[in-house]
Chains A and B, each alone.
Chain A
Amino acid sequence: MNYADLFRAMLPETALEIAALLVVVVDLAFLRKAALNTRAAIAALLGIVGCLAGVWLMQGQGVATFSVDGTPGTALLVTGGYAAVAQIAILILTAFTLVLLLDSRFTRHVGEYVAVVLMSATGGLIICGAQDLLVIFVGLELLSLGLYILTAFAKRSGKSAEGALKYYLFGGMSAAFLLFGFSYLYGFAGSTNLQEVFAAIVAPDVSSSPLLYVALVAVAAGLGFKVAAFPFHLWAPDAYEGAPAPAAAFIASVSKVASFALLITITAAILPSRWSLLLVILAAASMFAGNLAALAQVSVRRLLAYSAIAHAGYMLLGLAYFSDRSRDALLYYIVTYALTTIGAFGVVGVVERATGTDRFDGFLGLNKRNPLLAAVLLVLFLSLAGIPPLVGFWAKFNLFAAVLTTHASGLSFALVALAVGFSAVSLYYYLQVLKRAFVMAPTDESRIKVDPVVMLVLLLIAAAVVVLGCFPALLQNWIGIASKAF
């Protein structure tokens, strides 16, 4: 293994780490006396520069594999291909979530906050390209530990602490499950490399072994936790509700993109049908539980959490019927979904700061209090519900078409029908929020002020949702070309 090559492959991660350290140093050393707003702006700016530097450094990377002794059987990391798509998405989405910091007042330690976000994103970058169980686990923990801290960052809020603790306890348990499953896979293969694992588990004596089921179920539990699939979703509503808005946006977007990229890697490596069966069960259960539970919510954050569970269900469907085509469709889905969610949390954060609550009532008369913000909310929520011509509709259509094209059977068709049916259900709860914003009479008509930069970014996200929905080929072609290179 050539360490210079490995270093080159890890340049984006390195850029993020350097940016993280720089943010802390600058904030602690030079900005002690500055106003909080200035510090937040500078910290966010440095973080964004770090992310953009990461994107820029990815340009030079081709498709390459890095292994211990040069053989595929010892591969650790890959660059390029769908991993690159996910990594670029992570970097850009992280930059967006950092902007949201400008309109938040949950902490005085903005430097640390940005640093933790960047380090967590580094973990996300690593798991996108990981090809080895150990690298996967290390990357995943790097990502997760950051998320626990971020959830707890609003120290004065009890909910924040509660959410973080729940997140941490469930996270620790699921990490244990994952490691347990990995250990069995290692036991079968005698190697932590994914290709070796695959070669081992398709062997006749292993593929019928009950221990393999135990291993796969444990892995599914560990990863199901990361994507908040039912029944491993219990942390999500509390974490989404308790975490500061920018942190919640980060959890809901960047962490999801990274986790689904990892799921793609694992699914592509261990194709056997029993893994599909597990995913089908998780998908159907998540669609059911997420959509039905969302109907009963009165807090917008919890609503977004349950809708995230439902969306995870749709996406798992794309994994269960896996092909190159459904992989691309899934990437399209997760990237656009993450973008939309960041915008949604941005709006929720602004409203929450102005009204002191994220309950439905806080959104009363938003249309009157800030028409632009209300318009952004309209676009984002309708996109989440899957109304054309917004990007959420296209993502769903593309994914379901890919599923049916990949595998046409009664079961796949029934699952797609279920998913489409549940989209109709989901319109109800999204409309509940929009109804408050546009239809019902406001109790307070004072204007809601938004930081101009945040407003600009929210408008940008809404515009992207509209444009990508009207011209879906733009992003789709890019994903298709980029991921084929792998």
Chain B
Amino acid sequence: MLAWTIYLSFAGALVLALLPKGKPGLARVFALLIAAAGFAIAVAGFAAGMGHGRTTITDVMWVPSMGIHYMLAADGISRVLVLLTGLAATAGVLFSWNIEYRTNEFFAFFLALIGGVYGVFLSFDLFLLFVFYEIAIVPKYFLIAIWGSTRREYAAMKLALYSFVGSAMVLIALLAAYAASGSHSTTLDFLAHAGLSPHFQMWAFPLTFVGFGILAGLWPFHTWAPTGHVAAPTAASMVLAGVIMKLGAYGCLRVAMGLFPHGMDPWGFSFVGIGSWRDVFAILAVIGILYGALVALVQTDFKFVIGYSSVSHMGFVLLGLMTLNQIGLTGAVLQMYSHGVIAGLLFAIVGRIVYDRTHTRQFGDLERMHLLRRLPFAAWAFVIAGMASMGLPGFSGFVAELQVLVGSWHATPWWTVAAGVGIVVGVAYTWRALQKAFFTDLRPTAEDHPASGWHDLGAITWPEIAGFSLLTAATLVVGLYPRILLDAIEPAVKTFLAAGGAQ
């Protein structure tokens, strides 16, 4: 059933490309229907999959002579991430309701991107996974380059090239693994049990991890993220931060760690306490957490704050992956979901609700606009989203980051302390942004006065309220009752660890 999310999105993209131009309303409604249908299927698939382990959706030979399967399957991790994609897609369409320029094409690219993302999360054949992974690159480029803002062509090209370089690294590892395992098949199951030599895994693991990690915002390969997020139109930022970065993290988990577990074995020597690739990536993750948070603290552009905060939050995902224990990995997957929803919400507020009305994101300008009075909805929405982003109890981020930290404490206590500092800085930059953008204490001067050229900011529209409610509910429900997702994630992580990711 879940496979229909993929087909529906691609079919929707195709139909949108062919719909008559000049009827943006029709395109919007149609895109919303497709996205919502995908979300509904994702929810239904999630509910139906409860209590089941991995279920195969389809498995047919694609290229018999090379043993490539068209194999779609879903386990708890996939189902959670498909659910997240459905959420992000629906919210993305809602927050793009005001796109008037080349509307059909916008939603066509958007749905094509979403289709590729669904495909990655459901593929259990490495070749197929890679195909979907690359399908997602091109729509991203056009979404940013055509509908973006600040330095959009630069950012779009940077993102496309970073993604493509990352996927080239993955492709090299894929080719090598295929050849090294005797050229029989490319299914994940086969490759995982092909008995690839530890020596091979020792270099294939970092290659794949970095290749996917680039898209997950792995420091120091994260630099596409702030520029890309900032330049992208709101829906694309939401999807970039919400799901595309998860593609990278998911690839790290499913492919790098799943296929090459021995790549994380100790090297046999250690240098300043680093004795394996696992240590290397854990440290990079912690640096990412701290670096992203500290840089976010000094930004003058509202959207850059959120952009760097994404790097910081994704560091928790990567740190969680590198704990290699049940609680840490569970936390990492939950953090993928949590950050996907919260970052989507933050970008929606900054990009759609604020920027599309004020046409500036500079704190210096926003401070003089008194948005608390003029856009109270935006202010209070950001208060809620900010609390979620800080990791306050009651929101999904709290459960996720706590689990990552607990898992990481078991593995590497000192780095956990550093990561904890990152959370504190996270509170600081969120407060700073909140204060500068909404709760300013500057008094309006004469030239700022409404009579002297303040234009009307426009009322909050229903799609914005709907999108906001959807995402807030998504983070609150999981924050208040985390078992709803944990019941799906925990068994899947247990199976994953038992299959070889364990030490």
Contact = CB atoms under 8 A, between A and B. Distances in A.
Interface stretch (B128-136, B229-237, B273-281, B432-440): B128-136
B62 to A, nearest CB: 7
A473 B157 contact: no
Contacts, number: 79
B146 interface: yes
A401 B175 contact: yes
Contacts of A477: 65
Contacts of A480: 65
A408 interface: yes
B57 interface: no
A438 B142 contact: yes
Interface string A158-194: 0000000000000000000000000000000000000
Most buried by B among A398, A438, A439: A439
Most buried by B among A375, A473, A480: A473
Contact of A408 (B141, B164, B180): B180
B137 interface: yes
A132 B167 CA distance: 44
A421 B62 CA distance: 26
A420 B172 contact: yes
Contact of B145 (A387, A393, A420, A435): A435
Interface size class of chain A, counting residues whose CB lies under 8 Å from the partner chain: 20 to 34
Nearest to B147: A439
Interface string B146-184: 100000010011001100110110011001101110010
Nearest to B207: A417
Majority secondary structure, A binding face: helix
B259 to A, nearest CB: 17
B160 A431 contact: yes
B392 to A, nearest CB: 41
A408 B179 CA distance: 8
A473 B160 contact: no
Contacts of A427: 160-161, 164
A135 to B, nearest CB: 33
B131 A388 contact: yes
Interface string A437-461: 0110000000000000000000000
B64 to A, nearest CB: 6
Nearest to B180: A408
Contacts of B179: 401, 404-405, 408
B44 interface: no
A389 interface: yes
A389 B131 contact: yes
Contacts of A408: 179-180
A413 B156 CA distance: 31
A420 to B, nearest CB: 5
A438 B109 CA distance: 12
29 contacts: A387-B135, A387-B138, A388-B134, A388-B135, A393-B131, A393-B134, A397-B175, A398-B66, A400-B175, A401-B178, A401-B183, A404-B176, A404-B179, A405-B179, A405-B183, A416-B172, A420-B168, A420-B172, A421-B165, A424-B164, A424-B168, A427-B161, A428-B157, A428-B161, A431-B157, A439-B145, A472-B63, A473-B62, A476-B63
Interface of B: 17, 62-66, 127, 130-131, 134-135, 137-138, 141-142, 145-146, 153, 156-157, 160-161, 164-165, 167-168, 171-172, 175-176, 178-180, 183
Given A387-B134, A408-B180, 7 more contacts: A387-B135, A388-B134, A401-B66, A423-B164, A424-B168, A439-B153, A476-B65
